[in-house]
Amino acid sequence: MSADFLNLLEVAINGLMAGVLYSLVALGFVLIFKASGVFNYAQGVMALFAAQTLVGIQTGQVPFAHLINAIFGTEVHYFGWNVPALLAILFTVLVMILFAWIVVKVILVRLVGQEPIILFMATIGLAYFMEGFGDMMWNSEVKRLDVGIPSGGSFWIEDVTVQWAAEGERYFGMYVDVLDIWATVIAVALVASLAAFAQYTKPGRAMRAVADDPTAALSVGISLNKIWIMVWSLAGFVAIVAGIMWGAKSGVQFSLSLIALKALPVLMLGGFTSISGAIVGGLIIGVGEKLFEYLIGVPFLGGATENWFAYVLALIFLVFRPQGLFGEKIIERV
């Protein structure tokens, strides 16, 4: 194989890995959208908040230390202990469940029956609130997140791929981050377990019933409130996973919440209501933007096309197929 082709392959593989992470965020969107019809803009901030909470608990930060210090003039920052990663994740899950409960009880039940776009704007408000709240609780510094997932380039892949190159080519092997491989494995496991949960368990079936027809589900005795809390908790759990992956990759910082925006075109491509759509859409966007950047962006357009490629692709795509790849057909009635 020629070096050019191998380079292209490397770009595509890395795009695939990035796409998996987009899919993870998109998955959280789809879960909530299916069950409660809310397009949850705050999903990205939830990932950021989850990652902040995880790091905070792990390193024993005092919550609201900044505020306490400002009011009482004290100097507290850390409790001085370190919590093991697994325990910290468990605590974070509890925090996200509590968060889900508050969101449903305080916001969602009061907005029942409003137009979808109003709900969407409410989640933008929620996102702002959480962003400020998370920063105030755990301070806004860029933090390192380490839960023991290995990272760094894989030498094994490098060694293997070097031999693929044709004789005499200058080729030094592919760079694939081990973390990305782990992320892929975990994402696949997560999707599989979510699908199994929805397919084979009682609450999962109730969740699908609500997604299918809320009124009918209500009439056979399914509590919408409970399902919503469950779904938001699940989305919180997905946010934790996404937060861990992105946080381990590029540090816990504000830009983490912007991946939510990247997940939007993924959803448009895949359709808002389809879990498999979210996965496929994520992969297409991930590979597409990396390849576009590599083949056209850098040589002809001056680079950084990743900022907009996904949106423009989704825009063009939507003009021809407004419901996305796997979405249900949109029928409009007067």
Partner 1 sequence: MFYREAGDFKTTYAADQQTFPILFDRRTYYIVLAIALGVMPFVVTDYITNAILLPFLIYAIAAIGLNILTGYCGQVSLGTGGFMAVGAYATYKLMTGFPDLNIAIIVVLSGFITAGVGVLFGLPSLRIKGFYLAVATLAAQFFLVWMFNKVSWFYNYSASGQINAPERTMLGQPVTGAETEPWVAYLFCLAFLIVLAVIARNLTRGRIGRSWMAIRDMDIAAEIIGVNPLWSKLSAFAVSSFFVGVSGSLFFAVYLGAVEVGEAFGIQKSFLVLFMIIIGGLGSIFGSLAGAAFMVLLPVVLKLVMVDSLGWPTDLAAHFNFIVVGALIVAFLIFEPHGLAQLWRIAKEKLRLWPFPH
Chain contacts with partner 1 (rule: CB under 8 A): 39, 66-67, 70, 107, 110-111, 114, 116-118, 120-122, 124-133, 135-136, 140, 261, 264-265, 267-268, 272, 301-305, 307-308, 311-312, 314-315, 318-319, 322, 332-334
At residue 57's C-alpha, the angle toward residues 76 and 242, to 5°, is 135
The span from the CA of 324 to the CA of 183, in Å, is 26
The long-range contacts involving 92-98, CB below 8 angstroms and separated by at least 24 positions, are: 92/50, 92/53, 92/54, 92/57, 92/240, 93/236, 93/237, 93/240, 95/50, 95/53, 96/46, 96/50, 96/53, 96/233, 96/236, 96/237, 96/239, 96/240, 97/229, 97/233, 97/236
CB of 124 or CB of 165, closer to partner 1: 124
CB of 4 or CB of 141, closer to partner 1: 141
Closest approach, Cβ 77 to partner 1, in A, equals 14
The span from the CA of 47 to the CA of 237, in Å, is 9
Terminal-residue alpha carbon distance, the chain? 58
Question: Taking the CB of residue 122, how many other CB atoms lie within 10 A of it?
Answer: 20
The span from the CA of 174 to the CA of 32, in Å, is 38
**Phi, psi angles (nearest 5°) of residue 93:** -60, -45
Closest approach, Cβ 139 to partner 1, in A, equals 8
Closest approach, Cβ 226 to partner 1, in A, equals 21
The span from the CA of 26 to the CA of 276, in Å, is 10
Asked if residues 53 and 302 have their Cβ atoms less than 8 Å apart, the reply is no
Asked if residues 149 and 179 have their Cβ atoms less than 8 Å apart, the reply is yes
Closest approach, Cβ 148 to partner 1, in A, equals 30
CB of 73 or CB of 221, closer to partner 1: 73
Question: Taking the CB of residue 229, how many other CB atoms lie within 10 A of it?
Answer: 19
Closest approach, Cβ 197 to partner 1, in A, equals 26
CB of 89 or CB of 127, closer to partner 1: 127
CB of 140 or CB of 151, closer to partner 1: 140
CB of 224 or CB of 314, closer to partner 1: 314
Asked if residues 282 and 19 have their Cβ atoms less than 8 Å apart, the reply is yes
Closest approach, Cβ 45 to partner 1, in A, equals 10
Closest approach, Cβ 214 to partner 1, in A, equals 18
CB of 167 or CB of 332, closer to partner 1: 332
CB of 193 or CB of 307, closer to partner 1: 307
Closest approach, Cβ 108 to partner 1, in A, equals 10
The span from the CA of 46 to the CA of 28, in Å, is 10
